[in-house]
Amino acid sequence: MAATVALSPSRRNDGDVLPTLVIVDDNAEFLASAEAMLGEEGFDVVGCVSDASRAIEEVRLLQPAVVLIDVQLPHVNGFELARQLAELDPRPIVILISSRDAAAYGSELKSAPVRGFISKWELSGDALAAMV
């Protein structure tokens, strides 16, 4: 199975600056590198958080267009966080990421209220932009 999986139709932003983005991952090294890379590739990274409870607060406060969430978060996993974010208004686009392949999550990924999935190894501005 491909590492990048779009789960619903995508649209690409034609402007030079891509949508606002909050990144949620408990790995500090990955969080810093993803923030730097996606920022350099045109995303407006407005927040980086390491846990689900802070993610809800940041998303409510910052109202990003996109939230990139690691599936393997402590206490509340990425699927549950995606369900909580789906209740917000405005509802952000949610993309899940993981060091595991999409096939590892099976039907749970297909039923989650997310736009898609990107393997951490395949994460790039282009891969993310293709889903938003």
Q: pLDDT-derived band of residue 17, with 50, 70 and 90 as boundaries?
A: low
Nearest Cα to Cα of residue 21 among 67, 62, 52: 67
**What is the per-residue pLDDT for 13?**
45
Element (H, E) at 55: helix 52-62
Which residue, chain included where needed, has tokens 């996993």?
A: 77
**What is the per-residue pLDDT for 132?**
87
Domain extents for the chain?
A: 17-129
What is the gyration radius of the CA atoms in the chain, in angstroms?
A: 13
For the four alpha carbons of 18, 20, 26 and 29, in that order, the dihedral sign comes to: positive
Q: Cα–Cα–Cα angle for 99, 40, 85, nearest 5°?
A: 55
CA-to-CA distance for 93 and 65, rounded, in angstroms? 6
List pLDDT tens digits, range 70-129. Answer: 999 999 999 999 999 999 999 999 999 999 988 889 889 999 999 999 999 999 999 999
CA-to-CA distance for 126 and 86, rounded, in angstroms? 24
**What is the per-residue pLDDT for 63?**
95
List pLDDT tens digits, range 44-62. Answer: 999 999 999 999 999 999 9
Q: What is the CATH number of domain 17-129?
A: 3.40.50.2300
